[in-house]
Each structure stands twice: as structure tokens, then as C-alpha cells.
Amino acid sequence: MNNVNLIGYLGKDFEVGTTNSGKLYAKNSLAITKRWKNERGNEESSTTWIPIVLFGKSAESASTHIKKGAQFACSGELSSNQYQDEDGNAKTILSVIVSKFYWLGKKDKDDNKTQTPQVPPKEPDIDYENTNIESEEAQVF
């Protein structure tokens, strides 16, 4: 079984594009922060960035309505892809192909406008330029 469930904060606005076959996709990174107390009782934290990809109407809806910093919950499957970087080194990228998602934002009580989203930690610079999204079955993020 390949099933992933995540809740985190979007690191940026969705990047939208189309696959070689013309299917719409939207990609982003989800920040998931783990917090704990160390042996001295001081709070520590660590943030993991998970690449996510949505397709079709889900991609259109998410990219139109959900912005950087929004709390986001999703279910999907883990996908891995290999490629060679510009130096010829073999690289593997893991991403989650989202099948269901939920925006966990709150509404402002006074005027039903969306509140300003929370800003997640700064996303690390990751170069995805040498990768290509081909199909839902074999994703390259």
C-alpha cells in the first residue's frame, strides 16, 4: 500500500504547468515542523519540506484559491524519480502525488474574507530544473 497523509503549510504559491500530454499540474512544497523538548527542557524544532503535485481540476482549484502560508492537508501516494544533474550525478526526488486535499484556512468572522495565512519557515533552495513531469504514473518533480 502506498498512502501518505500530510498536514503542513505551503511554502509558496503553486507553480502551474502542463505535462507533455497536455494535462494541467500544480506543484508546491509543504512545510511540516516537528517540535520537541530536549534533555534540558528547551523546545527544539525541525522542518521537513515535502514536494507535492496535483493534477487536473484539483491543480486548477488549489492554485486559484490556496496561497503561500496556507495550512494544507492532503492524501496521496509517494512517487520517486531518478534523473542526472548537470554534472552527471544520479539524483532521486521523492514527491507526493496528491489525490485529495483540504484547505484548513479560517474565515474572518466580520466579512467572510480569508484571513492572512501564517508564514511557514523559509523553504530551502532546491533546483528542480533538470526534472520533467510526464504522467501521473511516473512523476518527476
Full 3-state SS string of 17-84: EECCCCCEEEEEEEEEEEEEECCCCCEEEEEEEEEEEEEHHHHHHHHHHCCCCCEEEEEEEEEEEEEE
Q: How do strand 90-103 and strand 43-55 relate by DSSP bridges?
A: parallel
Spatial distance between the Cα atoms of 52 and 65, rounded to a whole number of angstroms: 16
Digit-coded pLDDT (tens) for 47-56 = 999 999 999 9
Q: Are residues 39 and 22 in contact, defined by beta-carbon separation less than 8 angstroms? A: no
Q: How do strand 24-37 and strand 4-10 relate by DSSP bridges?
A: antiparallel
Mean pLDDT of the 97-123 span: 62
Q: How confident is the model at residue 116 (pLDDT cuts 50, 70, 90)?
A: very low
pLDDT at 104: 83
From residue 63, give the alpha-carbon distance in Å to each of 25, 59, 73, 86, 140.
Answer: 9, 6, 15, 30, 19
Q: How confident is the model at residue 99 (pLDDT cuts 50, 70, 90)?
A: very high
Mean pLDDT of the 34-47 span: 94
Mean pLDDT of the 34-52 span: 95
| Cell numbers linked to 12 | 509558496
Report field, pTM of the whole predicted structure over 0.85: no
Mean pLDDT of the 21-42 span: 95
